Structure 1
Amino acid sequence: MQPFELSLTEASRAVRARELSPVELTESVLARIAAVEGRLSAYVTVAADAALAAAARAEREISEGGPRGPLHGIPMALKDLIDAAGMPTTASSRVRAGHLAEHDSGVAERLGAAGAVLLGKTHTHEFAYGLITPQTNNAWDPGRVAGGSSGGSAVAVAAGGATFAMGTDTGGSIRVPAALNGVVGLKPTYGLVPRTGVTSLSWSLDHVGPLTRTVQDAALVLAAVAGHDPRDPASVSGPVPNRFRGGDGLRGLRVGVPRNHYFDRVTPEVEESVRGAIERLAELGAELVDVEIPMARYLQAVQWGLMVPEATAYHERSLRATPDLYAADVRILLEAGELTSAGDYLRAQRARALMRDVWARMFDGIDVLAAPTVPMTAAEAGQEAVEWADGTTEAVSDSYVRLCAPANITGIPALTLPVGHGRAGLPIGMQLMARPFGDATVLHVGRVYEESVAGTGRLAPLAVPLAA
């Protein structure tokens, strides 16, 4: 096994045991990037020299005083919305040509303090305003979409081009590409991870979180980056999960199985895999509870009613000054936001408040909600719509956001992890959600599940030679 094939947990253990040096690990991951990047295009920028220097520094620190923690000397990537001092933050857009970050984002600061090694910046759908990431190809099938908007981060992790990566999630932008590329993605509770120095799409829906190979890996990253930051007005002082929930497996834990919304308009292979995974949770000791998803008919309207005007407000000046620099799909959405009335936006905010309340009551009867992450596997590149068995037609992006948006609207933690593959061999993800600050609970359930199945942390089987 080559070092780039190791999960974060495995690599950290090897570094701690002095069986693997940060330099050896970083060199292996950089070689993997060189081998697959031409086919996948996960990265905007690869800072190889800086990464090797940071790895050498980490190696000296570990040799002299031992590791600071599990991320010390571990190579990782940042979505190119997240500032790192001295590096461009392009948001994968011509609008940001020539931009250079003066300071680290809050997340980059914390990862740096933990000793992580920054490899570079990964592609996003332009300004995170989309679910495709058209610059990047799916790690399992380059003819398919990577998902978005954190597509580059998901593909880098799935292909072995980063031991872990950070993304952002406004309507599913961590979970969608994670599910489509067969990796783990965590959208933490709103405000738990600071967004200081992170380019915004929609301030009231934006979250920052990790994409990793295993649930254990996600927990290690979350512990390093979570916590209050006074520079982020939405930052909270909630509990930072630093260990998994105790207990005897899943015994006594109530898993909600939705009767509506989440299994409406999903492909048979997704439904089969996710229901099979839910049954596995029952075999592991969980009690399954049927639940009705409240206010389901309003979810899409509320998501768009919040996101569209907030995004347009953020881009107001540059949209007027340089509209031609935006990609057509993003410019259309930004211009549409100018037509949203203040009354519409306020109604969406009121509906969100009601939704949070009724969802909190739903969680009085369950500990975790389990559901598909996305209704179908990765679409073919260029596919614009999907036709469902009931005769309805839906845009691919609307399809991908539909099952993820509720967790953004309500601010609850949501974890996606791989639970199977479709007929074409493409990954399928299951989403686990809990009440606000129940991050440790979703991580616990996800870890118990993944420990019960084979193939955890598997890399995408790229049809290219493994780096030597």
Structure 2
Amino acid sequence: MSPTASPSSAPQVAGFSRRSLLGRSAVVAGGVAVATVAGTAAAEASPPSSVLDRINDGLPHLSDIPRRSRVVDYEIAEMIVLLRARRLTSTEITKAYLARIDALNGPFETYGDNGGYNAFVRVDRDGALAQAAAADKRLRSTPRSRDLPLLLGIPFGIKDSVGVQGLEAKNGTHAYSGNVARKDSTVVARLREAGAVILGHTVASAFSGSISGTFAGNAWNKDYIPGGSSQGSGVAPVARLSAAAIGEETGGSIIMPSAANGASGIKPSLGASSTAGVMPLSPGYDVLGPIARSVRDAALIFSVMAGPDGENDPLTLSAPIPFPDIPISARRGRKPLAGTTIGVPQTDWMSRGGTGTSPATTYDADYLAAFERFKSQLRSLGAKVVEFAGLDVTVPENDPYFRTSERLPLPDGTVVSPATAVLSPNRYEIRYWEAVKKFAAAYPENDAALRRQFGDFDAATANAGKIPASVRDEGERRRRALQGNYQKALDDAGIDFMLVLPIGAQIGPRFGGQQLTNYRTFYQLPNALTWPMVTFPIGYDSTVGLPINAAFWGPRFSEPEIIQAALDFQAAHPDYHGKAPTDPVVTPPVARRGAPEVESVPPELSNDPLIGEEAWS
């Protein structure tokens, strides 16, 4: 996750700007801190049998699964049941996805237009087929299906910034060529423990830096943006190139590609699942989450991901242990949302209209119609949907952390923003710039590209090291104050959780136009708050047929509540998430000016909180 921060009214102090903490002037938005993806042990503990029993009880009955024309159209929950009933094999499913990747993805290892979807940047074909064969053997040899791992035989894509043993992880750029993971990241290890088949890496924005993206093509029309930075992870499940994918978010990187492609994605609370083995952008903000076609599938995956990883990611020890049960099925009855109050924050400003303009008044006609219909559908399910102020973070007394113009003094007379006081020491502790410097020394052919991104490694490290613990503590105190202020805004209005549209107008073309014309200005705010979000489709526009997504978000560790509400909605209105796009025509890649792996990223669309802060200052 990541807080974007504030327009600054403070004077610039020579020798210590926020830009210098980035290492240099902002180039392509974003930044990666580790040269070699850190390995990690497998999950500390498997889910207890009671949890697995509850999840198994929530799976659909075989007789309730509709017959679908293609194997790849079955949802994960359906695949699990069909695999256990011997109606499908993992090899059959895996080969079906690989065949579609062969036909529709285009050439691998391309950070740019490859003529196809370009959702996968690399695939481990032999490894995936071997995993599928092993899953089939286990399915045949296990007498009781309830004893099988939950995701046994289900094929996944993994974002290019997440360690998969034996594969390169490049985080959207050939500047990390040679960065081979020696071990699986914790999340990948947990997926494997649950029986998942790992197909390979899905393409990411360069250095995980953009919420718009241009490397992949949108699942519904590859001439449009895929959202970023988890571009391929947003495209692959909807385009039927994998059953699901893992995304990573520092500021909008799960929610935006999910929304752009009409996927169902979960951005967890900070600490709900481990980020060990991820190429970090902002430690203490980064989170990993599932992207799938349905909320039910995403919830199944999240139930495997969630849980403590104290040895490798101490932040997971801040979550409730055990983590609250993640629902995977809708509640019964005509009014499952009775007693739930959902708030529409009127100060969650959109980029169109800006501060002071009610968000819904800025939506395009199709988006406004979908939004109004969605609110009516929620009310028909028993929810109370109300407008409320929310917390206006442009008001100084409301926000001492995220958008504040206040600066904290350092012993040498320079100043930093509260967000910088938190983020930079976090980077310093994990040797953020030192790791990249060592990697560049080991792979000198990558040195120039990495220095363009990170600037002077030594100067950035020294500047971050100037921030004393007392200033860092004050930054964290202000962050907690912001969290408390927003929680009070919900409590005072009697709101359980909130409803927003991540995108309020049709997304733009990948090349030659404005990529995002109307989106949540404070798309990084849930990350600054450490709060979770779940997004899912609620309609389609009438011009290109691109999806329209809504999102629920609420207090930290409220995943069970917001996931349950989304499950209830999708059970009652399955038409939106069940549709499949028409397969595109794969064409030869188009030669474009400039290096193929450079995306044009306006600073205001950056995932990096310091670049965002610089852009707003």
Cα deviation, residue 133, structure 1: 3.2
- Give the TM-score of the pair, scaled to structure 2: 0.68
Does 1:316 pair with 2:397? Answer: no
Trace 1:275-294 onto structure 2 (pairs within 5 A).
Answer: 275-294=372-391
Q: Is the 8 A contact 1:308 1:336 kept in 2?
A: no
Does 1:241 pair with 2:325? Answer: yes
Q: What is the one-letter code of the residue matched to 1:49?
A: D
Q: What is the one-letter code of the residue matched to 1:50?
A: G
Once superposed, what is the RMSD of the aligned Cα atoms? 3.1
Trace 1:210-221 onto structure 2 (pairs within 5 A).
Answer: 210-221=290-301
Cα deviation, residue 70, structure 1: 3.3
- The partner residue of 2:135 within 52, 58, 64 is 58
Question: Counterpart of 2:578 in 1: which secondary structure?
Answer: coil
Instruction: Supply the distance in 2 between the matched residues of 1:209 and 1:199 (Cα, whole angstroms).
Output: 15
Task: Compare CA radii of gyration and give the structure with the larger one.
Answer: 2
Deviations 1:19-62 (A, max 9, x none): 10111111111111111102111112111111011000000001
Instruction: Supply the distance in 2 between the matched residues of 1:430 and 1:304 (Cα, whole angstroms).
Output: 31
Cα deviation, residue 132, structure 1: 2.8
1:45 corresponds to: 122
Higher deviation after alignment, 84-93 or 129-138:
129-138
1:441 corresponds to: 561
1:271 corresponds to: 368
- The partner residue of 1:14 within 82, 100, 110 is 82
Instruction: Supply the distance in 2 between the matched residues of 1:274 and 1:404 (Cα, whole angstroms).
Output: 18
Q: Is the 8 A contact 2:221 2:584 kept in 1?
A: no
Q: What is the one-letter code of the residue matched to 2:79?
A: A
Cα deviation, residue 327, structure 1: 9.8
Instruction: Supply the distance in 2 between the matched residues of 1:32 and 1:85 (Cα, whole angstroms).
Output: 24
Deviations 1:394-437 (A, max 9, x none): xx49x656343121111111000011122321111101012221
Does 1:5 pair with 2:101? Answer: no
Trace 1:6-405 onto structure 2 (pairs within 5 A).
Answer: 6-38=74-106, 39-65=116-142, 66=145, 68-230=148-310, 231-236=312-317, 237-238=319-320, 239-244=323-328, 248-262=335-349, 265=352, 266-268=362-364, 269-297=366-394, 301=403, 305-306=419-420, 309=424, 315-317=432-434, 318=436, 324-326=448-450, 342=467, 349-364=476-491, 365-382=494-511, 385=514, 396=516, 400=519, 402-405=521-524
CA shift in 2, pair 1:333/1:287, >3 Å:
farther
Instruction: Supply the distance in 1 between the matched residues of 2:74 and 2:502 (Cα, whole angstroms).
Output: 25
Cα deviation, residue 262, structure 1: 4.4
CA shift in 2, pair 1:417/1:346, >3 Å:
same
Q: What is the one-letter code of the residue matched to 1:159?
A: A
Question: Counterpart of 1:70 in 2: which secondary structure?
Answer: coil
Q: Structure 2: which 5+ runs fail to align?
A: 1-68, 107-115, 353-361, 405-416, 441-445, 587-617
2:577 corresponds to: 456
Q: Structure 1: which 5+ runs fail to align?
A: 387-395
CA shift in 2, pair 1:335/1:249, >3 Å:
farther
* Greater length-normalized contact order (CA 8 Å, ≥ 6 residues apart): 2
Q: Is the 8 A contact 1:323 1:331 kept in 2?
A: no
- Structure 1 residue runs of 4 or more that deviate by more than 6 Å after TM superposition: 332-341, 343-347
- Give the TM-score of the pair, scaled to structure 1: 0.88
Q: Is the 8 A contact 1:201 1:311 kept in 2?
A: no
Higher deviation after alignment, 154-163 or 454-463:
454-463
1:418 corresponds to: 537
Higher deviation after alignment, 295-304 or 338-347:
338-347
Higher deviation after alignment, 260-269 or 279-288:
260-269
Q: What is the one-letter code of the residue matched to 1:253?
A: T
Instruction: Supply the distance in 2 between the matched residues of 1:402 and 1:333 (Cα, whole angstroms).
Output: 31
Cα deviation, residue 373, structure 1: 1.6
Q: What is the one-letter code of the residue matched to 2:363?
A: T
Q: Is the 8 A contact 1:4 1:163 kept in 2?
A: yes
Higher deviation after alignment, 124-133 or 71-80:
124-133
